[in-house]
Amino acid sequence: MPRPPPPAARPAAALVVTAPLAAVAAAAAAAAAGCNYAVLLVQRAAGGSFAAAHAFPGGVVEDQDRRAPGSPFAACAVRETFEETGLLLTAAPALRPGAAARPGAAAFHAWCAAHGAAPVALRPVARWATPRAQAPRFDARFLLASIGPGDRFLLGQLGAERAAPGEIARVVWVAPDQALAANARGEMALFPPQAHLLHRLARCRRWQDLPRADLAAAAAGLDEPVEPRLRRRSDGAVEALLPGDRDYGPGGCDYGPGDCGHGPRDCGHGPRDCGHGPRDCGHGPGAGGALHRLVMRPAPGGSGFHAATLVQAAGSRL
């Protein structure tokens, strides 16, 4: 009997905000390690979604994001970042006399449009989907906003971040290496998308190089979401298998050719036809027995993972 289709993934977006170290209160160890920028993370409140884990600010695409000019994902990422941290990632607003100094959550984009506060330039850098066996599911776009020394309006807001009550426990600026070190010590829980992006960011030591940095987790880029395959090892660790890994295929996929017969060699059905094409569920092992996975340990008493190590074959572009 065919298995039921997985629950639909809700469109979502997150903002990867970086700023020069000199502009934020990041630890001096980052500069000593040769990294000249920090990245913005929020710690989710206990008891909510992704409880106590650290993440990039973001959330689900809402109707007002779809009505906003431009990409609904960019609109969502900027709005959610403002709601969760108080940072307004737009051009400096031209306030009219008597106008509210800050936008309200329900009319964020209307306020921005009325005051000429267009979103800053954002670059899509990654796309991840929640594994099919889990609920709720999200198809999240990650966009990069790199604040530079000349961005006076944005720099003027740094240091005045505020955590959204009941939703965010704290807002922190941290160098990618420092975040990964805190994760290794069990002090900062992460989920696979955040862990992978931080590993990729850690390879880029200067904020000046971020606009050209390749942060994607799959050779296909952003055309299809990366959907990790999670499996538990006998030592208690969890492996998040990523596209290109030798074990990322039917053995780790609930919807492989053995279940529905819709593999690429059977009928060529792609993701738009039945959802069981090679890009959608990773039929077949990675080329050459390559490794591309995160090895993690579940965080005790909360959600997310500690000790997230990225394992790759030597010379892999990923």
Q: What is the largest CA-CA distance in the chain?
A: 66
For helices 192-202 and 176-184, angle between their N-to-C axes, nearest 10 degrees: 130
pLDDT of residue 313: 66
The C-alpha atoms of residue 141 and residue 153 are separated, in whole angstroms, by 25
Residue ranges and CATH numbers for the domains of the chain are 10-217+227-248+285-312 (3.90.79.10)
String of DSSP letters for 266-307: TT---TTTTS-SHHHH--SPPGGG--EEEEEEEPTTSSSEEE
What mean pLDDT value characterizes the chain?
Answer: 82
Question: Shortest CA distance to 231 belongs to which of 218, 249, 205, 210?
Answer: 249
Spatial contact of 215 and 249, defined as CB atoms under 8 Å apart: no
The lowest-confidence range among 17-31, 68-82, 105-119, 204-218 is: 17-31
The C-alpha atoms of residue 212 and residue 208 are separated, in whole angstroms, by 9
List, for residues 224-282, the tens digit of each pLDDT value: 899 999 999 999 999 999 988 999 875 444 333 333 333 333 323 333 333 333 433 33
Residue 195 DSSP code: H
